[in-house]
Amino acid sequence: MEDNTILLWRVSDGNLVNTLGDHTAPVYKVTFSPDGTLLASASEDHTIGLWQVSDGSLLRSIPGHSEAVYDVAFSPDGSLLASGSGDGTLRLWQVSDGQMLNILAENSDSVISVAFSPDSHLLVSGAADGVVQFWGISEAIPLDTEPASDSP
């Protein structure tokens, strides 16, 4: 069912805990922050949702992509978020305020998969045309911007 919502279920008893419903189009991916307090969602509505898990509130809707967002990933320390989109871009965001730090890839095809290495030194993207690219995080963050270590 494509009702544009995210359902949070309690694993221990299977009960519905919360319904997150601020996207205006289908949601393609959800992922928890490393500490489990936040949830990021990727949607066809061109946005990333950043949600507080404890109460289901939307902390911020992050615009910036010009087409559907297919994948999102938190860095291992939870301070960065990467997103891949149908607009062919891989973007890097600061979790604390939703600020875009960089556009790392401008592919001719959709970026459909993104992941950080466990040591946070690399970011990898996979595109629909089969191109896989690796990015050094230290080179990806502009020198005048340092990611905040605090989560919202």
Q: What are φ and ψ of residue 101, in 5° steps?
A: -95, -35
3 inside domain: no
> Whole domain around residue 73: which residue ranges?
29-138
Per-residue pLDDT tens digits for 42-77 = 999 999 999 999 999 999 999 999 999 999 999 999
Per-residue pLDDT tens digits for 92-148 = 999 999 999 999 877 789 999 999 999 999 999 999 999 899 999 887 776 444 444
6 inside domain: no
23 inside domain: no
90 inside domain: yes
List the one residue out of 53, 46, 59, 139 whose CA is nearest residue 92: 139
On whether the pTM is more than 0.85, the answer is: yes
What's the CATH number where 52 sits?
2.130.10.10
73 inside domain: yes
pLDDT of residue 151: 43
pLDDT of residue 63: 94
